[in-house]
Structure 1
Amino acid sequence: MTILNIVKHPNEILEKKCLTVTKFDKKLAVLLDDMHETMIANDGVGIAAPQVGVDQRVAIVDFGEGQDPIEMVNPELALFEGADTDVEGCLSFPGTFGEVERPDHIKIKAQERDGSWYELEAEGYEARAILHEMDHLDGILFTSKISKYVTQEELDAMIAEAAAAEEEESV
């Protein structure tokens, strides 16, 4: 597997609608494996093909924690409901964070690396990450949805506060 270079903004591939995948072959499998490796090496939770310079409707989300990565080829949003605002960042915008409102519950339809279709429902953080990556495939950048920018210091404070609250709950 190869760690690929992350495309940083500004770059026109990040702002164009990607091409539908029609060939489900070894090349696609290698792309998915390399994207996953690249995402992990860069401490990401998700990555989309245009972020590694590839004009294809391919994305991955991986939360670790013993879960398998979610590979999405030609994903389509089948249902969305609710709303939630939380802080997002992006591998293509290092050091940029902001509050983004997204649906809280989604259902998608996508293809596996072998071309077979599947459906997946997600809520909360998982839904947010999937939608962020799907936006990349349509050339939509999270910065166009930010309602309030957040500094690294503010983000660090939010993470520390959430960790402290979680620790308090477990006592």
Structure 2
Amino acid sequence: MLLPIYAYGQPVLKKEARDIDAGYPELAQLIADMWETMYYAEGVGLAAPQIGKSIRLFLVDTEQIKREDKEGEGIKKVFINAHKVEEGGEVWPYEEGCLSIPDVRGEVERPAQIRLRYMDEAFNAHEEVFTGFNARVIQHEYDHIDGILFTEHLKPIKKRLVKRKLDNIRKGKVQAGYKMKFLP
């Protein structure tokens, strides 16, 4: 089932999400709905706060991108109760966007590597290092479960340039090719 994506300005996007356990109600269906919603919106990642759930759950599929450019290995994974162990490597810029903030893009600098401790959808524990584009997408989605949006990483001048667009999104004055939920 397609879920509405919560737009910039929704309080859930600014809250630090909580861990869940294997008994979380209808988790398998929630994950399936998140995959469907992410693909419909043409995203490469989606975090639970973006669909109104303040839980530490996000998913990533960079395989679709990696197939196109044939560079490195893509991943398709569910991350539950993810916690950052460390970040490192050379910091590199890349223009990011977000399904919760349509029509806004900006250059964000992130470290090239992240070590993450997380559970998969079967609640098996993992600790893994991700690099390059995979690390970037994971860092972006991880920020969501910590209540951080990519716009907070923009340089001050870019923040000023996108302020009007962000205000319009908050007011529901934006078009997206998918269903969104705005402030009342």
TM over 0.5: same fold? Answer: yes
Code of the aligned partner of 2:47: A
Counterpart check, 1:71 vs 2:70: no
User: What is the CA-CA distance between 1:26 and the residue it aligns to?
Assistant: 6.4
The higher relative CO (CA closer than 8 Å, separation ≥ 6) is in: 2
Residue aligning to 2:151: 143
Task: Choose the corresponding residue for 1:132, options 124, 135, 140.
Answer: 140
**C-alpha contact (below 8 Å) 1:25/1:114 kept by paired residues:** no
User: What is the CA-CA distance between 1:121 and the residue it aligns to?
Assistant: 1.6
Larger strand proportion of the pair:
2
Partners of 1:43 and 1:135 lie apart in 2 by 20
**What are structure 1's unaligned runs of at least 5 residues?**
152-171
Residue aligning to 2:120: 112
Q: State how many pairs are aligned.
A: 150
Residue aligning to 2:26: 27
**What are structure 2's unaligned runs of at least 5 residues?**
68-73, 162-184
Residue correspondence of structure 1 range 57-68 to structure 2 within 5 A: 57-65=56-64
Normalised TM-score (structure 1): 0.81
The answer to which of 119-128 and 2-11 deviates more is: 119-128
**Residue by residue, what CA displacement relative to the aligned partner does 1:64-87 show, whole Å, maximum 9, x if unpaired?**
347552110011111211211111
Partners of 1:49 and 1:5 lie apart in 2 by 11
Cα separation, partners in 2 of 1:26 and 1:69, compared to 1, 3 Å: farther
Cα separation, partners in 2 of 1:95 and 1:112, compared to 1, 3 Å: same
Identity of aligned residues (%): 35
**C-alpha contact (below 8 Å) 1:24/1:113 kept by paired residues:** no
**C-alpha contact (below 8 Å) 1:24/1:115 kept by paired residues:** no
